[in-house]
Amino acid sequence: MQWRGRAAIVAAVTALIAGGVTAVVHMDDDSSPRASGRAPQISAKTRVPPTSPIGDQPRHRVYVDNSGPVVSISVRSSPEPWSRSLDLTVNDRSIHLDRKTTPEHGHCAPKVTAEPSSLLTRVDLPRTCLKRSRHLEVTVTEDGKAPVKAKARKTQRPNVLMIMVDDMRTDDLQWMPNVQKLIGDQGVNFTNGFASLPLCCPARASVLTGLYPHNHQVWSHVRPWAFTALDDSSTFPVWIHKSGYRTSYMGKYLNYYGADPEPGKTTGTSTQYVPPGWDKWQASIDGGLDPSDPNDGGTYRYFDTTLNDNGHGYIALEGKYQTDEYARMTGDIIDEEAAGKAPFFHYLSFAAPHVGGPHEADDPDLPTPARPTNLWGIFDKHIKKAPGADWHDKDQSDKPLRMRGHIRKHKMAEVLQLTRQRAEALYSVDQAVKQLMGRLRETGELKNTLVVFTSDNGFFLGEQNIPSGKVLPYEPSLRVPVLMRGPGIPKGEVRTDPFLSVDYAETFADLADAPVPGSTDGRSLVDVARLGDETDTQSWSRVVPTETPPNSRDTRRLRRHQPVGAHTKKMLRGLVTGIRTSQYLYTEWNYSPGDEKNNIDTELYDVLADPNQYRNLAVEPGHEKLLAQLHDVLVRARSCKGDECRVLLPENLR
């Protein structure tokens, strides 16, 4: 599927959000504690998303994308998919789609995506096959009913500003009023964002390649994997750069970038390495320079970061707070790119709220992120306990041995301090987002810029008896925020279809009209963002696999032969692999030989009835058929490639 650029929507459109009330903390986003020295004004407020009863929804949503070499007409039917035929006219061109007939072939034949169970239908046409394509008039008729008409003039492909933070939980959004107001309220919130492997390096590799970890093989953030293990010759920046986009990168890249060899090499460093596809490269290095070098700095040194200056030396940010500097420098890039003619893509990767130095006077024993001193304590009155303070599983006999235990009271007090400091670091990012949205507005680029805000993975703060950390596929670690605003995306709507790490590459290629060589494991979700979910319910048909790094035996064995940049023809398997559906989390543990006997190796949680994931249904009788079915789905998913990864769930699991 290929989605591109901006276009006019003529069909009447109303909100398609299920009702709901979410309690948040509202902060005065016009205040700037950096400038004023004051703490932000914080008051309790309830955010109520707009709602639209099912009966008030339009029968169709139509979006005409008239930019780039391919023209797209996308339709969302409601409340059911069209059953017999869908007829379209595009200027003088007539297109008839029939569920029982195979679409025509040839250069000018329409490319049709019309999954029978989906409310979304997509028709792509080469621009050269349409007459008078600068102005399109489209009519859509579903099953012979009243037609819906739309018009669209040719427009420029959109710019993209991708903002990624590190280790942010979905509930951390409550401490980021500008992100909510300027991105979420002006666009859509994907409430089921998931990290394919909830760990920095593997998740970011999936974002770049569109591949699951078992295919890109960046299994961890440490050797033998990390930065050098990624084959970066075919990533979305390579694709969109070839299609005419100006591309730039700033901030955290992959772990051990700088210290480890360049991809394909086994010796040397990568401090001056620029990956393919980037016109401007200012990524932070993780080592690679002698500590005595004046340019020595690190990704997690919040006041001493060093960037690779596009392969021509270094930018040392010693004594400057990283988040502020990234925002300032990105603002300058926006100014530069706005003056050019080509659309631009800028990837801004903050380290916050990842743990990092320097050590500060109010730090607990747990590692925390560093923050500017004027933000210290601003949330102390509002964060009274850690998110996992009330997590208490009284009977843990149904859990894997590694998941048993309890956090002591003094340790939970440290988790509270960590929670507060993470919120402070994120509030700094929130101020940066406000600054950048203002810069886009000032340059006149805001209306034609897709802005995406997300995190690489989530984070535990006491849940599952884990004081801090990630990796395991339970909700706090697995879930990530995904907010998106831009051309053609409606304001203030919610999407419940899953958005996975592997989906960004196809989504950005889609927007850029960029051909994707080979195949990826993800899919473009531009149509979902613009028109709505594939169903009118909060269930989904998609298989959502989860992975972790391999077990210790497999890791040691591979490291002996490939100490850095490891790859293997034999497909490795994560220690914990799983399937997440709209109702269930199913996992299987792949223990090393010698692990304790009589261990629990399968888990099944009903996340709707049991959101804390206390009760492991896999050890209870009566679920054998469901377990067998989920096992079969998982076996295929953890070794899938390309189209195999897009096979849908059996209907009874949706």
Cα–Cα separations (whole angstroms), residue 479 to 20, 22, 68, 457, 472? 20, 17, 34, 7, 11
CA 519 – CA 476 distance, rounded (Å): 30
CA 219 – CA 229 distance, rounded (Å): 9
pLDDT at 2 exceeding the cut of 90: no
pLDDT at 180 exceeding the cut of 70: yes
pLDDT score of 342 = 97
pLDDT confidence band for 106 (50 / 70 / 90): confident
Contact call for residues 572 and 218 (beta carbons, < 8 A) = no
pLDDT at 462 exceeding the cut of 70: yes
CA 621 – CA 604 distance, rounded (Å): 12
pLDDT score of 42 = 54
| Encoded amino acid at 561, one letter | H
pLDDT at 1 exceeding the cut of 70: no
Contact call for residues 404 and 465 (beta carbons, < 8 A) = yes
Q: What are phi and psi of 248, to 5 degrees?
A: -145, 150
CA 222 – CA 464 distance, rounded (Å): 24
Strand partners, 75: 62, 121
Q: In 3D, which of 445, 444, 468 has the Cα closest to residue 458?
A: 468
pLDDT score of 95 = 94
Instruction: Give the number of other Cβ atoms within 10 Å of residue 642's Cβ.
Output: 13
Cα–Cα separations (whole angstroms), residue 145 to 103, 171, 577? 22, 43, 46
pLDDT score of 597 = 73
| Helix (H) / strand (E) containing 559 | helix 552-561
pTM of this prediction? 0.92
Q: What are phi and psi of 139, to 5 degrees?
A: -125, 130
Longest dimension (CA), the chain: 75
The CATH architecture one would assign to domain 54-153 is Sandwich (2.60)
Beta-carbon contacts of residue 91 (< 8 Å; ≥ 6 apart) = 130, 131, 132, 133, 136, 137
CA 630 – CA 585 distance, rounded (Å): 10
Q: Give 261-291 pLDDT, tens digit per residue.
A: 999 999 999 999 999 999 999 999 999 999 9
SS3 labels along 593-627: CCCCCCCCCEEEEECCCCCCCCCCHHHCCCCHHHH
Q: Give 484-540 pLDDT, tens digit per residue.
A: 999 999 999 999 999 999 999 999 999 999 999 999 999 999 999 999 999 999 999
CA 16 – CA 24 distance, rounded (Å): 22
Q: Give 565-590 pLDDT, tens digit per residue.
A: 999 998 999 999 999 999 999 999 99
pLDDT score of 47 = 46
Cα–Cα separations (whole angstroms), residue 206 to 104, 227, 277, 528, 536? 34, 12, 16, 20, 29
Task: Report the SS3 class of residue 643.
Answer: helix
Q: Where are the domains of the chain?
A: 54-153
pLDDT at 598 exceeding the cut of 80: no
pLDDT confidence band for 20 (50 / 70 / 90): very low
| Encoded amino acid at 593, one letter | P
Beta-carbon contacts of residue 248 (< 8 Å; ≥ 6 apart) = 278, 279, 280, 281, 282, 333, 337, 344, 345, 346, 347
pLDDT score of 38 = 52
Q: What Rg do the C-alpha atoms of the chain give, in angstroms?
A: 24
Q: Give 218-228 pLDDT, tens digit per residue.
A: 999 999 999 99
CA 451 – CA 283 distance, rounded (Å): 20
pLDDT at 21 exceeding the cut of 60: no
CA 475 – CA 480 distance, rounded (Å): 9
Contact call for residues 604 and 626 (beta carbons, < 8 A) = yes
Question: What string of DSSP letters covers 176-230?
Answer: -HHHIIIIITTSEEEEEEE-SSSSHHHHHHHHHHS--HHHH----SSTTSSGGG-
Question: What string of DSSP letters covers 227-243?
Answer: GGG--TTS-HHHHHHHT
pLDDT score of 538 = 93
